[in-house]
Amino acid sequence: MGSEQQPVNILMILDGWGISLSETGNAVAAANTPFLDTLLVDFPSTTLKCCGEAVGLPDGTMGNSEVGHMNIGAGRIVAQDFVRINTAIRDNNFSSTPALVSIMDKVKQAGKSLHLLGLLSDGGVHSHINHLFALIKMAKDKGITKLYIHPIMDGRDTSPTSGIDFLKQLDEKIHDLGTGKVATMTGRFWAMDRDTRWERVQKAFELYTQGKGVDASDQTPAQAIQAAYDRKETDEFIKPVYFCPGNEGNVEEGDGVIFFNFRADRAKEITRAFTEKNFNGFQRTANPAPINFVCMTQYDEHFDLPVAFGPQHLDKIFGQILSENEIPQLRIAETEKYAHVTYFFNGGDEAIFDGEERILIPSPRDVDTYDQKPEMSADKVADKACEQISSGKFQFVVLNFANMDMVGHTGIFDAAVKACETVDRCVKKVVEAIWETGGTAFITADHGNSEQMLAQDGSPYTAHTLNPVRFIVAAKRAPTITLMDGKLGDIAPTILQVLGIEQPLEMTGQCLIQGK
């Protein structure tokens, strides 16, 4: 298209790129990132809040990729499912939730077992232990006598060996309420895959349906997890363990399962294994279907399953506004963050807007953890993005680089440094391609991670952080602007101002350009 090409603008989300004033354990500070450093000197930038009430979470709760992308895409603070469930519990409405009442009534009348499955954590990213406690109490009040609990251990949004404390809290709650039994235990590495690594999911599924795993029937859960630690297995990677002898505690035909994770992306695969009629991820040797299965939130609009807390509808979000203004848009990321630039960025909706196209670059499959390959697929994402930018087909691009988050989660400092340096190199390629068209690069992050790789005690820190993130507006030919501090929900209104598009009333975030 040559000189006739219209400017292409981009929103680049550098997952896990947070700001920390401390240099100790700070992979972002330690990394050699000359291009990002130059952008911060040469172009307007500011800091954004990305946790707690600024993104629709409880005060003091760290942000995450789902929440971050949803707030960015919506251009407003979006009340998160975590808060909605907390509110229902606080207001004593939780136990009257129709889907939960229905499944408990069914299993009680049929004399079957109720299974509570989910991540045992207070991280508030995928689940919260208090939601499990509310379910146990509700089951007690409903007179459920066969209650089995299947905790998935975290160690990613919490410290790698915090699981033993959560198991002790669970044991105390079971003792206090006088109901429930821990039937199994495994790490989220197995039960919460999101990259179709079905060999992992199969191990979790066979634990739940056949009791396949390490026999810990003579141990308490706390003893069993300590044994796993002694085997050098941290929470995330704990191999399947079962506690019930015989078939007790297995999910069987006619039983009820409540999956209490509220975040969708890592709940889908094991849900499909349990419920999909023509499932082909692996050969199910013991298929418990038909079972009664309730999802805490809507994991996928194509799942024909009861949902305890249904989706919210967000109108006049960023992608929709681009579509209504006939601005062709591209969403591009590698597998690990593809759902975030599509489903979550579009307000938790699977629908694709007119003029929206998507490109998925596969994440590496030849490593178990990304510290072994900190570059991940960033170069492929960058190269494909540059190709599409120069094609003139699109006028706006939303891109995610996953490295600083996914490698940060491993807790391996040197690998996180390499991840930061990879992203810097790839950002340079893409931004220069944008500038070639006369466009503007808007660069930010959804939450922090790699800027804090050490806990206070010096051990590896693998979770997200409460730190703010940067927002840069980089244009070669543009009037000088000054940006105010803000929150993630202010990004879309700011971009619309730069594009000359009126901000809709529904988009309640603020434009961060001073004087606008």
Whole-angstrom distance, CA of residue 409 vs CA of residue 429: 25
Does residue 84 have a known ligand-binding role?
A: no
| Per-residue confidence (pLDDT) for residue 287, from 0 to 100 | 75
Sign of CA dihedral 406, 471, 264, 182: positive
Checking if the pLDDT of 478 tops 90, the result is no
Does residue 302 have a known ligand-binding role?
A: no
**Secondary-structure class of domain 82-309 per CATH:** alpha beta
Whole-angstrom distance, CA of residue 173 vs CA of residue 34: 52
Can you tell me the mean pLDDT for 374-402? 99
Indicate if 45 belongs to the active site.
no
For 138-170, how does the pLDDT look when each residue is reduced to its tens digit (9 = 90+)?
999 999 999 999 999 999 999 999 999 999 999
For 34-77, how does the pLDDT look when each residue is reduced to its tens digit (9 = 90+)?
999 999 999 999 999 999 999 999 999 999 999 999 999 999 99
Does residue 126 have a known ligand-binding role?
A: yes
Which segments of the chain belong to CATH 3.40.720.10? 2-79+313-499
Checking if the pLDDT of 382 tops 90, the result is yes
DSSP letter at 466 equals S
For 304-324, how does the pLDDT look when each residue is reduced to its tens digit (9 = 90+)?
999 999 998 999 999 999 999
Out of 3, 22, 65, 113, which one is annotated catalytic? Answer: 65
Distance (Å) of CA 280 to CA 250, 252, 264, 484 = 22, 20, 20, 51
Give the number of other CB atoms < 10 A from CB of residue 149: 27
Fold annotation for 2-79+313-499: Alkaline Phosphatase, subunit A (3.40.720)
Does residue 315 have a known ligand-binding role?
A: no
Whole-angstrom distance, CA of residue 495 vs CA of residue 192: 35
Does residue 15 have a known ligand-binding role?
A: yes
| Per-residue confidence (pLDDT) for residue 138, from 0 to 100 | 99
**Cis peptide before 290, with omega less than 30 degrees from 0?**
yes
Does residue 157 have a known ligand-binding role?
A: yes
| Per-residue confidence (pLDDT) for residue 2, from 0 to 100 | 44
Backbone dihedral angles phi then psi of residue 423, each to the nearest 5 degrees = -65, -40
Whole-angstrom distance, CA of residue 496 vs CA of residue 501: 5
Q: How confident is the model at residue 246 (pLDDT cuts 50, 70, 90)?
A: confident
CB 191 within 8 A of CB 152: yes
CB 123 within 8 A of CB 463: yes
Which segments of the chain belong to CATH 3.40.1450.10? 82-309
Directed axis angle between helix 129-141 and helix 163-177, to 10°?
20
Does residue 447 have a known ligand-binding role?
A: yes
Q: What is the pTM (predicted TM-score) of this model?
A: 0.81
Residue 90 exposed, middle or buried by CB count within 10 Å (0-12, 13-18, 19+) = exposed
Nearest to 44 by CA among 514, 516, 414, 515: 514
